[in-house]
């Protein structure tokens, strides 16, 4: 019977013996599998500088340089699947006559001779053909050598995607000079996309390269490269500029139709009338107005009135996606919010594409234009729970320390206390009740809510009375106080009202201790305003004069002299006003 296992064992023994012998004599990386004594394939055609990558090649590209196997022989981690897919998309692209190395090797390295490339078989069939034991062993050592070389490169991680140097694009093919046919692409408007509208008209979106390389317009830490936009994203195209790349840069943290999100940067603003009954270019009838995009913009109508549904998403950074490339979660996520550092390491250094980190932003007409506004309450309505949140957070304010609500330590939210259903204006709402307090604490805590409401309401009422006194003091002091003093008093009033409003509109019961502190601070602000103006009044000049029919009437000559010294005069309301200081 044929003993297959024994033969395998014999081959393995030979393999191990040969491997040990060779490793003792020579490093694996110096082994030339296809030496001149054992020619397996034809030698590389003679080329200038002995490099297969130089300009010395004839214009017709050697077929082996077009072979995906030529690259895959060393890129063993991505061959055959990834490299074959990339090769297929390259063969159908505009760059099919450009060798891989013209783009994937920086121009400064194209003339560097790499002897190891002479060892690479010119096709896959030659490399995988039948071999003797010695040839097989040498092949495996060659693979090991290549893998060792990759793992010992001077980069912290194995590169998962190619890095294309900008000079590979701009030195020979796409010049940045702006001159000549080759340089036009840098300054010329290029048709990025052409779309047929519903009315069969054509919409063209243009693109200018030079504008996008303006460093003053880059996001902090970014450095735009050709490959930032031109990437191999799908199997069908070798590299492409996806629209979602445009959307992320133009719309993230930008207001609709403002700055880099301005519609006219990409779109030609239509002049066609928006009324269906109107004909473009037709004269306007008396009493009628043609409405188009330009007239709407001139009238100050917000673009979101009609186009608010066309931009959806915020391009958030999903920290969990960091772990797709990195292992040390704690160290990586610690710096995840450092925008400058993240862009330097991933965009400027070309280590990742935008969507390795960011969620996409959608820009199209597919969303429901009514629901977009209807479901975003703040489009029309204010945040009705703004003040409740401020109370629960208990944030530091002028004259008030930070005092978070007692339940903040255990992350108790609104639904813990608002457990009672009520119908208000036909809508079901969750009402707060003391029963929620008793459910967690003790029955006696049920009355705590009403007690807190009563005490904070009483204190707030007292503060409102002092506020009225302060308002009256400011009004009375306008005739004697300086504008600077009135302004300072008004600032005190503004601070006081801000603190008092939080309690009044937010319901002091949401944070009793913080509410009492806010009320005390408000009272202090109002009283400080009164004291400021009272001091001014006490320091004012008093003369024994009064106004009669708008003229100054003083009791005697001494009073007249005093009035003259302090520049006293009658104002419009027949009050004596003196400009000098005592």
In a domain? residue 284: no
Task: State the average pLDDT over residues 206-226.
Answer: 78
Question: Do both 353 and 217 map to the same domain?
Answer: yes
What confidence tens digit (pLDDT) does each residue in 508-548 have?
899 999 999 999 999 999 999 999 888 655 556 678 888 88
Last residue of a domain, one of 127, 154, 181: 154
In a domain? residue 240: yes
pLDDT greater than 70 at residue 115: no
Last residue of a domain, one of 96, 124, 154: 154
How far is C-alpha 454 from the chain's CA centre?
46
Question: Do both 529 and 549 map to the same domain?
Answer: no
Question: Do both 357 and 395 map to the same domain?
Answer: no
Question: Do both 326 and 393 map to the same domain?
Answer: no
In a domain? residue 532: yes
C-alpha 167/C-alpha 374 separation (Å) is 50
C-alpha 549/C-alpha 397 separation (Å) is 51
In a domain? residue 162: no
pLDDT greater than 60 at residue 28: no
Question: Do both 458 and 483 map to the same domain?
Answer: yes
Question: Do both 482 and 499 map to the same domain?
Answer: yes
What three-state secondary structure class fits 378? helix
Q: How confident is the model at residue 17 (pLDDT cuts 50, 70, 90)?
A: low
How far is C-alpha 364 from the chain's CA centre?
20
* Residues 195-207: b if buried by 16+ CB within 10 A, e if exposed: eeeeeeeeeebeb
In a domain? residue 380: no
Question: Do both 86 and 126 map to the same domain?
Answer: yes
Q: How many domains does the chain have?
A: 4
Residue predicted with more confidence, 397 or 110 = 397
Which of 236, 280, 224 has the alpha carbon at shortest distance from 92?
A: 236
C-alpha 468/C-alpha 336 separation (Å) is 51
pLDDT at 125: 60
Question: Do both 143 and 239 map to the same domain?
Answer: no
Last residue of a domain, one of 373, 398, 431: 373
As a whole-number percent, the residues of the chain with pLDDT over 90 amount to 13
In whole angstroms, how large is the CA radius of gyration of the chain? Answer: 40
Question: Do both 397 and 463 map to the same domain?
Answer: yes
Q: What are phi and psi of 545, to 5 degrees?
A: -140, 160
Residue predicted with more confidence, 533 or 276 = 533
DSSP track, 336-373: TT-HHHHHIIIIITT-S-GGGTBPP-EESS-S-HHHHH
Question: Do both 438 and 486 map to the same domain?
Answer: yes
In a domain? residue 63: yes
pLDDT at 150: 52
pLDDT greater than 50 at residue 49: no
pLDDT at 346: 84
Calculate the average pLDDT of the chain: 76
Question: Do both 183 and 310 map to the same domain?
Answer: yes
- 412 Cβ neighbours under 8 A, 6+ residues apart: none
In a domain? residue 65: yes
How far is C-alpha 513 from the chain's CA centre?
38
In a domain? residue 213: yes
Task: State the average pLDDT over residues 550-560.
Answer: 86
CB atoms within 10 A of CB 493: 19
Domain that holds residue 451: 387-538
C-alpha 230/C-alpha 86 separation (Å) is 14
Least confident of 279-288, 375-384, 488-497: 279-288
C-alpha 518/C-alpha 131 separation (Å) is 87
3-state secondary structure 108-140: HHCCCCCHHHHHCCCCHHHHHCCCCHHHHHHHH
Question: Do both 365 and 394 map to the same domain?
Answer: no
């Amino acid at each position: 019977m044929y003993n297959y296992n024994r033969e395998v064992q014999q081959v393995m023994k030979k393999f191990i013996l040969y491997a040990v012998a060779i490793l003792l004599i020579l490093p694996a990386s110096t082994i030339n599998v296809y030496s001149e004594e054992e020619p397996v394939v034809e030698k590389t055609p003679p080329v200038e500088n002995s490099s297969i990558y130089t300009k010395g090649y004839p214009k017709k590209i050697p077929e082996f340089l077009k072979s995906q196997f030529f690259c895959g022989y060393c890129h063993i981690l991505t061959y055959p699947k990834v490299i074959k897919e990339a090769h297929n998309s390259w063969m159908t692209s505009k760059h099919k006559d450009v060798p891989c190395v013209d783009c994937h090797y920086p121009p400064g390295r194209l003339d560097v001779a790499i002897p190891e490339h002479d060892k690479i078989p010119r096709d896959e069939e030659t490399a995988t053909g039948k071999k003797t034991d010695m040839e097989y062993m040498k092949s495996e050592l060659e693979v090991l050598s290549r893998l060792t070389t990759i793992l010992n490169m001077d980069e912290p991680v194995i590169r998962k995607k190619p890095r294309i140097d900008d000079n590979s694009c701009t030195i020979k093919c796409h010049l940045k000079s702006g001159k000549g046919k080759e340089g036009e692409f840098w300054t010329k408007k290029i048709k990025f996309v052409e779309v047929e509208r519903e009315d069969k008209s054509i919409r063209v979106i243009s693109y200018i390269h030079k504008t996008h390389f303006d460093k003053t317009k880059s996001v902090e830490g970014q450095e735009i490269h050709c490959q930032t936009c031109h990437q191999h994203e799908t199997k069908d195209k070798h590299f492409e500029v996806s629209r979602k790349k445009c959307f992320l840069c133009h719309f993230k943290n930008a207001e609709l139709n403002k700055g880099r999100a301005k519609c006219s940067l990409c779109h030609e603003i239509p002049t066609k009338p928006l009324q269906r009954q109107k004909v473009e270019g037709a004269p306007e009838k008396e009493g009628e107005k043609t409405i188009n995009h330009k007239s709407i913009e001139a009238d100050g109508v917000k673009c979101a009135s009609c186009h608010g549904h066309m931009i959806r998403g915020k391009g958030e950074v999903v920290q969990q996606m960091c772990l797709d490339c990195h292992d040390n979660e704690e160290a990586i996520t610690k710096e995840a919010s450092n925008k400058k550092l993240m862009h330097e390491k991933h965009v400027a250094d070309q280590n990742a594409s935008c969507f390795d980190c960011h969620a996409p932003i959608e820009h199209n007409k597919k969303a429901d234009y009514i629901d977009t506004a209807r479901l975003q309450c703040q489009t029309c309505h204010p945040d009705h729970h703004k003040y409740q949140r401020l109370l629960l957070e208990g944030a530091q304010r002028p004259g008030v320390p930070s005092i978070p609500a007692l339940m903040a330590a255990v992350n108790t939210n609104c639904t813990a206390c608002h457990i009672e259903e009520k119908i208000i204006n036909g809508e079901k709402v969750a009402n707060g009740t003391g029963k929620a307090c008793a459910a967690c604490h003790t029955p006696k805590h049920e009355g705590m809510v009403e007690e807190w409401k009563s005490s904070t309401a009483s204190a707030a009422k007292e503060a409102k009375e002092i506020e009225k006194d302060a308002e009256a003091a400011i009004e009375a002091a306008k005739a004697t106080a300086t504008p600077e003093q009135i302004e300072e008093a008004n600032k005190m009033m503004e601070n006081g009202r801000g603190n008092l409003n939080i309690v009044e509109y937010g319901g002091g019961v949401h944070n009793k201790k913080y509410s009492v502190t806010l009320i005390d601070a408000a009272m202090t602000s109002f009283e400080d305003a009164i004291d400021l103006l009272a001091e001014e009044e006490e320091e004012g000049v008093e003369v024994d004069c009064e106004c009669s029919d708008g003229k100054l009437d003083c009791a005697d000559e001494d009073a007249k002299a005093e009035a003259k010294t302090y520049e006293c005069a009658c104002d419009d309301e027949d009050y004596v006003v003196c400009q000098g200081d005592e």
